[in-house]
């Protein structure tokens, strides 16, 4: 089921995050009962070649592959979609102009100016142009005080499906340590403002979280919630087993990094 269909049915899309260039972990993630698996090409150690393998593994596992692209640049966005991503999360979108640019890069004419050449994406879909129009999602990230100030203008941009909060960068921009700073008034207020604005503009609110935070985020009104990453799963799993063997303590993750 596409992300658009999940949201059209008033559902909440729970997802996972891939930072490591391993098709095996991507397939494991893709076989979980989640709505999407995002390949991180901004902070993850993934390049265009490894991304092709990851998108393919996720889709063949029966899931929806999307990508967080490194930057809001037409060639980068087009390449991720051509490689098989069903949508893009675009970092550091701070203005309406930048939101417009992300949509322009991801949509074919007349909705945008994406160049034709779905080298991998078109292999399984002879009608890829029509499919892309119906399925490709564009998701700007809201992660600075500048974006908060321009939130209504960003949400008025035609062609965006959701916005996605990066808690670490948003916290830094608010003068807080990176991470989920629940209980800090500035952080809590920012999340409430984002959800309220999204509801007014009928745009889905998404966010980086953890499994433990997912219920709270859902109650706050977020309908796209990423709850874990492959790198974090490996690290926390190993720490937990070593702690059990050595009578130590393994800290519960408070963010996805």
Do 186 and 167 contact (CB within 8 A), yes or no? Answer: no
**C-alpha neighbours within 13 Å on the C-beta side of residue 39:** 36
Residue from 66, 22, 30, 77 nearest 46 by CA: 22
Q: How far apart are the first and last CA of the chain?
A: 28
DSSP-H helix ranges across the chain: 3-8, 23-30, 48-60, 74-82, 96-106, 128-135, 145-149, 151-155, 167-173, 185-201, 211-220, 230-246
Please enumerate, as own/partner, the contacts of 20-24 that have beta carbons within 8 Å and a separation of 24 or more. 20/44, 20/45, 20/46, 20/230, 20/231, 20/234, 21/45, 21/46, 21/47, 21/50, 21/53, 21/54, 22/54, 22/230, 23/53, 23/54, 23/56, 23/57, 24/57
Do 150 and 115 contact (CB within 8 A), yes or no? Answer: no
Do 82 and 118 contact (CB within 8 A), yes or no? Answer: yes
SS3 223: coil
DSSP annotation of 113 reads: -
Q: Which of 43, 133, 135, 201 is catalytic?
A: 43
Residue 208 a catalytic site member: no
Question: Could you give the residue numbers annotated as active site?
Answer: 43
């Amino acid at each position: 089921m596409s992300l658009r269909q999940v949201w059209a049915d008033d559902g909440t899309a729970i997802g996972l995050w891939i930072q490591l260039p391993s098709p095996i972990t991507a397939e494991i993630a893709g076989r979980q009962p989640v709505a999407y698996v995002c390949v991180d090409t901004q902070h993850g150690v993934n390049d265009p070649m490894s991304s092709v393998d990851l998108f393919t593994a996720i889709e063949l596992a029966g899931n929806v592959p999307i990508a967080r692209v490194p930057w809001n640049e037409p060639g980068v966005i087009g390449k991720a979609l051509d490689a098989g991503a069903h949508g893009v999360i675009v970092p550091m979108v701070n203005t309406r102009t930048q939101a417009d640019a992300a949509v322009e890069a991801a949509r074919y004419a007349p909705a945008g100016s994406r160049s034709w050449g779905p080298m991998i994406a078109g292999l399984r879909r002879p009608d890829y142009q029509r499919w892309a129009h119906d399925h490709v999602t564009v998701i700007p990230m809201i992660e600075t005080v500048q974006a908060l100030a321009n939130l209504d203008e960003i949400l008025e941009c035609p062609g965006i499906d959701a916005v996605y909060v990066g808690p670490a960068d948003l916290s830094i921009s608010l003068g807080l340590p990176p991470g989920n700073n629940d209980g800090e008034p500035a952080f809590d207020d920012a999340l409430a403002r984002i959800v309220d604005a999204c509801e007014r503009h009928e745009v889905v609110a998404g966010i980086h979280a953890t499994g433990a935070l997912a219920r709270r985020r859902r109650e706050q009104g977020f309908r796209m919630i990423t709850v874990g990453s492959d790198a974090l799963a490996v690290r926390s799993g190993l720490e937990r087993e070593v702690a059990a063997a050595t009578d130590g303590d393994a800290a519960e993750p408070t963010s996805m990094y």
